[in-house]
Amino acid sequence: MDRVSLVDTALRVAASFPAVTQGQPFGEGAEVFKVVGKVFAIVDTSDDGSGAAHHHSHSVITLKCAPPHGRSLVRDHPGIIPGYHMNKEHWISVCPTDDIDETLVEDLVGNSYDIIVAQLPRAKRPSA
């Protein structure tokens, strides 16, 4: 998957969930998606790849991931690395490589959202 498609897919999917807010707390070029104030996705949207998430192996999106799942993804996909500038055990970063496709990106973004929602107190969880 090329960089533009990866960014477009991540932005589209992350914005589609209930109770999501989007902002740029790290400055232009890094879109941060939160659900009830908790980050679940960071997307490097900088045109030249100079955004914060881009410097390490051209990573484009950073997502929350369960540790065993994250380890297997890193092992099985050259385009997935431990989370850049994040807790390497609980976050992954996705790079635009041939082993990454739209379905995988959609699943990973959805999984990240679901992990964060599951950690919220029941009363604060968004309804679908």
What is the SS3 string spanning 69-109? HHHHHHHHCCCEEECCCCCCCCEEEECCCCCCCHHHHHHHH
What does the domain layout of the chain look like in residue ranges? Answer: 3-124
The string of pLDDT tens digits covering residues 65-124 is 999 999 999 999 999 999 888 888 899 999 999 999 999 999 999 999 999 999 999 999
The string of pLDDT tens digits covering residues 46-68 is 865 444 444 444 779 999 999 99
Mean pLDDT in residue range 4-17:
96
Q: Spell 57-93 as b/e; 16+ CB within 10 A means b.
A: ebbbbbbbbeeeebeebbeebebbbbbbebebeebbb
Contact 103, 4 (CB under 8 A): no
**Which pLDDT value is given to residue 64?**
97
**Domain 3-124 bears CATH identifier 3.90.1150.30:** yes
